[in-house]
Each structure stands twice: as C-alpha cells, then as structure tokens.
Structure 1
Amino acid sequence: MVNSGNLNFNDPLFIHPSDTPGMNLITDRLTGVENYGIWSRAMLIALRAKKKISLIDGTNKRPHAGAGTVSQWERVNALVLSWIMNSVSKEIFGGIVYATEAHVVGLKQLWDEYASLVTLPSCECDTARKYIEHDQRHRLLQFLLGLNESYIHI
C-alpha cells in the first residue's frame, strides 16, 4: 500500500499535511462566464503550486485496479475535487458535486451548468441572433483562454 509518507514531495500523489479538503485555494468563487477566465487562471496557478495540475489535465489518470497507487490516487483526486468545489458558487456546485474525477470537472460541465441557468432568446429577430452570436464568441474565447499552455504557439 502506498501512502504520502512513501512518496517523493514532487510526486503529484504526495499529500502535504497542510492539504485538507476544506481549504480554499483561491479567494474568488467561480460565479459564471463573467469571472471564468480569472478563476480558471487562479485555480491553475494554485493547483500547479500544489503539484496537482496533472489530475486536472488528465495526464495523471486513475491507475488500473491492481496498481498499488489506486487508493492514494483516489485520495488525491477527492482532495482536488473538494478544492474545486470549495471555489465555485452554490449554483455551479450543484452541477459538479457528483463528478468522480477531477479532470472531468472542466469547461464543458461548467457551460452545461451555465446553459441551465441562462436562457438564450428563441425568437428569430435580429437582436436574438446577435445575442446568440455574442454568446458563441464568448464561449470560444473562454475555451481558448482555458487551453493548456502547451498550445500557446498555435
């Protein structure tokens, strides 16, 4: 059985004694599209500082059932999920509380939650079309802002 005491401090599965599920990594809660860019950047910086970004970007996936690190991975995954849940509004929390892996709590899930809270106009008028186009451009911008830094050159 692997535990944090047997892991190197640089290992993403290492849990520092100060890492607790109730801690807030960032001060501002995610409330919606209006602060997603700032929230996302702050959360990425905090998770990178904690050496847990690999659980978010999917590079540190759940080990296969027989691996000795499964239990430790599950603990760290739950810790990262709790940090994310502590940093979102009550409305968004309801949409992500049932996520089982930190890397699936991503932009798509947040956009789905946003879509359930905000109703776009359904008429065929010019104003409605412009509003929908603006919303789509906004989503594209948020997607581009959230891309992994390895895509900056593109």
Structure 2
Amino acid sequence: MAEDPDILRLQPGDNPGISLVTTLFDGTNFLSWSRSVKLALTAKTKLSFINGENQKPEKNAKEFEQWIRTDSMVASWILNSIKRELADCFMYTNTSTALWKELENRYGQSNGPMEYQLKKELGATVQGTLSLSAYLAKLMKLWMN
C-alpha cells in the first residue's frame, strides 16, 4: 500500500460516470488511448492503481474500504473510456489492475502476420446457409483469436 494519502482520496467531482479521455478506445487505438488514460490517472494521482504499485490491503486494514471505493472508481473511469461493445467484455474483472493487464494483454501488442490472417479470414467470412446465431458464433471465434 502506498504511503501517500492522496492516492485513496476522491475529489467531489469524481464520479463513476465520467470518461478520462475524449477519444474512446475502439480496439484499434490502444497505444494513443492508453497514453491518454495514464496521463489522466497521473493527474488524479491514481496511476498506481493500474500499474500494480498500489496493492489491495488486507480486509482488516483500516484503508481497505476506501481502497475498494477508489479502485472501483478507477475501473469505472477506464470502462467508460472504452466503446460499450468492447467494455462489456471486461465488466467482471476484479480490480483496475486486472482490468488494465487484460487490456494490455489483448490489445497492447501488435502481431502483424496474425492481424493480416484474421483480416483475411474475416473478409472471406459470409453467412451463406448458416443461421444467424451460427454466423455470429463463427465471427466471435475469429474475433477472440
């Protein structure tokens, strides 16, 4: 747990409905979006919640409840900075650190050959005689790769 008391402090204007950045993450702009989010969290003295420096205290610690509130606020800010259809995939992460790690793992690394192959497969995918649910399942399988 960090020693700076401002890390756990929320300001009166802080609420879970705000977005940290003006441009939402859409699945393609991770590098610029993540830089903007990090800058915003730094300005709010909350960057340590996503980089792992501010660990969750033990349940019996006096700052446990405040840490939970602040971490939930940080996670809400991040989720509100992501397009809704993508954010829904991350709604059940336990902490803002876990949320950030999941986003980094999924979108933070570029793999050119894999991206080319997936785009090629997506472009060639047609519904044909598949039912709508089977077609969507096929698309989701490609998307999750």
TM beyond 0.5 = yes
Contact 2:30/2:107, CA 8 A, preserved across alignment: no
1:91 aligned partner: 85
One-letter amino acid matched to 1:132: M
Residue type of the alignment partner of 1:104: A
- In the alignment, the residues of structure 2 paired with residue 77 and residue 12 of structure 1 have an alpha-carbon distance, to the nearest angstrom, of 10
Match of 2:18 among 20, 23, 47: 23
Aligned to 1:132: 114
**C-alpha distance after superposition, 1:79-117 (max 9, x if no partner):** 001000100012221111001100011254465489xxx
Unmatched runs of 5 consecutive residues or more in structure 2: 118-145
2:26–2:86 contact (8 Å) kept in structure 1: yes
Judged with a 3 Å threshold, the aligned counterparts in structure 2 of structure 1 residues 36 and 67 are, in CA distance, closer, same or farther, namely same
Counterpart in the other structure of 2:139: none
Look up the match of 1:5: none
Aligned length: 112
- What is the percent sequence identity of the aligned residues? 32
Read off the aligned partner of 1:105 and give its amino acid letter: L
* Partner residue in 2 for 1:152: none
Partner of 1:42: 36
Return the offset for 1:134. Answer: 6.4
Segments of structure 1 that go 5 or more residues without pairing to the other structure are 1-7, 115-129, 136-154
